[in-house]
Amino acid sequence: MDETVKKYTTRREFFKQYKKKSRLQETWNRFLRNKLAVIGLFIIVFIMLAAVAAPLIANYDTDAIRINVPDRLQSPSAKHIFGTDEVGRDIMARIVHGARISLVVGCAAIAVALFIGGALGAIAGYSGGKIDDVIMRCMDVFLCLPDVLLALAIVAAFGTNLVNLTVAIGLAFTPKFSRVVRSAVMTVRGVEYVEAARTIGATNTQIITNHVLINCFGPIMVQVTLYVASAILTIAALSFIGLGIQAPIPEWGNMLASGRVYMRDHAYIVMAPGLAIFLTILSLNLLGDGLRDALDPRLK
Amino acid sequence: MFKFVVKRLIAMIPVVLAVTFVVFTIMWFVPGDPTNIILGNEWSEAASAKLKAELGLDQPFLVQFFHYTTNLVQGNFGMSYITRAPVAEQLMARFPNTLMVVAGAMLFCVGVGVPIGVYSGVRAYSLFSNFTMVVGLLGISFPIFWLGLLLILLFSVYLRWLPSSGLDDGFASLILPSLALGSNYMANIMRITRSSMLEVIRQDYIRTAKAKGVKARDVVVKHALQNSMMPTITVIGMDVGTLLGGVVLTETVFSIPGTGRLLVEAINKRDTPTVLGCLVIMAVCIAISNLMVDIVYAYVDPRIKAQYGGGKD
């Protein structure tokens, strides 16, 4: 008895080496071979960990918000790794708590864009014809304004709080996603399994959500990664010109804006926030490019 | 060619109109009563009603939009709520500064990005090519406003070579803003040019040209360059829009009195007509740049010209 079980497991081990690797695994292996993409993944995971662990690194109320004038404008030291800002707050504490804001607002905005733009793009790409024309011409109009300006206009009209900002940036990125999803949907629209689903009586909604969108997941994820980078940059940009996240909430863009007055004598004050934005954008760009190459090896 | 340009010009009108409508609608939601802003301490029920009738603010939305566009066509952007001066005057004063910065950035993008892209495409996988790829990668991830601050620190605070703000020193004061605004797009253009050059340089007709004994320089300039320019031109055209978005940041960093700064100031003061004016003029610029890209397309690619008027004139 014992022997047969043992034989069985060894036989399975034997066949395992001939088993075809799954597509996901192949993609993952290709991704791992791309050094830059792996570096990008490391950096963004590091930033995410810092954001999650922010309360452990520094207390939000006492270190990142409370004004502490006696400690103002201190150069980097062991106590304050990145120094202190113009009212004595620890820049390190504000950077890690700022990471939470940037990442959450950036991802939430792209979720809004993906939801609205994705729905519109899927409908346009799947139906084609007049519906496609109407939706896409509307989206083209929005694409005439750069996303910073569109977000600016929306924030100007509805005011600058966290929710409005998220929605504004989300809406500003909606047309881009509608195009991405539309073209992805159009590539799988005519394939056999969609025909098959229709033959067995699936509704249009079922076909779009269960068959079409699932198969467009890869290229859409690539764009999500790249656009989260742009969204985070847009948040920082709006905050930098004073129309985004308002002081005293720590955000990288508004830290740069308030620090720039003091940068002539205290250059370190603009280094850490700028570097944080730069590394986040860079890592997401590397990750997105890596994902694209891994998903579609022909492009390389 | 003339027919082509006219056709594209006519196609531009509905786009500009639609963008104006979108911006006008968004601005319609600005909360608060504009007469509060205009009248300030002199506000009274009667004065407010009178002013509203004067400005047409008591009219329905579509009527207001109609009035706005008919005025716009005549070059009347309305009256600023704050300064009570025509918005067009302010735009005329500020817009040339913006145009100078954008033109400077454009010159930098194209003047540096394209040659480097071409060279590193031709000499792919050389040390120089790899170096430019790294620079390009870092360049597209640099936030404009941070780069601006760093440039000020290096060139005006430490080295004292260039002015850090304003436009008073003529050409010298344009250098840093153009660099800051253009670097992102320079990196982008460089990458695009390089990859399309890489593609073209492997084609059969390049090998044929080389086999015929055409000089290496002529192969690149006469055969490869023209065929690899399409993606670059598209990106250059698209970037005009992004540059105009970025100009808001650049003008803030370098304290340049341009349209971008005017826009931000107007938003802070809830000066809706000025906000509208700035956005509309930027949208028109973007539409014009798209038109120019189409025209350049037709020059570079004879197939497009052939679609309109057989490519004769």
| A32-58 tens-digit pLDDT | 888 889 999 999 999 999 999 888 888
- Is pLDDT larger for residue A137 or for residue B170? A137
Q: What is the pLDDT of residue B199?
A: 83
Q: How far is CA B124 from the centre of its chain?
A: 31
Distance from CA of B238 to the nearest CA of A (A): 10
Mean of pLDDT values over A275-287: 93
pLDDT at A66 over 90: no
CB contacts < 8 A, A to B, total 121
Q: What is the pTM of this model?
A: 0.86
Q: Which of B137, B267, B283 sits opposite A144 (nearest CB)?
A: B283
Asked if B75 is an interface residue toward chain A (Cβ–Cβ < 8 A), one would say no
Which residue on chain A is closest to B147 by alpha carbon? A274
Q: What is the pLDDT of residue A300?
A: 46
Which residue on chain B is closest to A168 by alpha carbon? B26
**Which string of DSSP letters, residue by residue, matches chain B?**
-HHHHHHHHHHHHHHHHHHHHHHHHHHHT--S-HHHHHHGGG--HHHHHHHHHHHTTTS-HHHHHHHHHHHHHTT---B-TTT-SBHHHHHHHHHHHHHHHHHHHHHHHHHHHHHHHHHHHHTTTSHHHHHHHHHHHHHHHS-HHHHHHHHIIIIIIIS--S--SSSTTTHHHHHHHHHHHHHHHHHHHHHHHHHHHHHHHTSHHHHHHHHHT--HHHIIIIIIHHHHHHHHHHHHHHHHHHHHHHHHHHHHHTT--SHHHHHHHHHHTT-HHHHHHHHHHHHHHHHHHHHHHHHHHHHH-HHHHHHTGGG--
pLDDT grade for B311, boundaries at 50, 70 and 90: very low
Mean of pLDDT values over B103-122: 89
B63: left (phi over 0), alpha (psi -120 to 50) or beta: alpha
**By CB neighbour count within 10 A (0-12 exposed, 13-18 middle, 19+ buried), where does B1 fall?**
middle
Mean of pLDDT values over A57-83: 78
Of the ranges A233-242, B31-40, B62-71, which one carries the lowest mean pLDDT score? B31-40
Q: Are A151 and A169 in contact (CB under 8 A)?
A: yes
ipTM: 0.84
Q: A237 vs B140: CB contact, 8 Å cut-off?
A: no
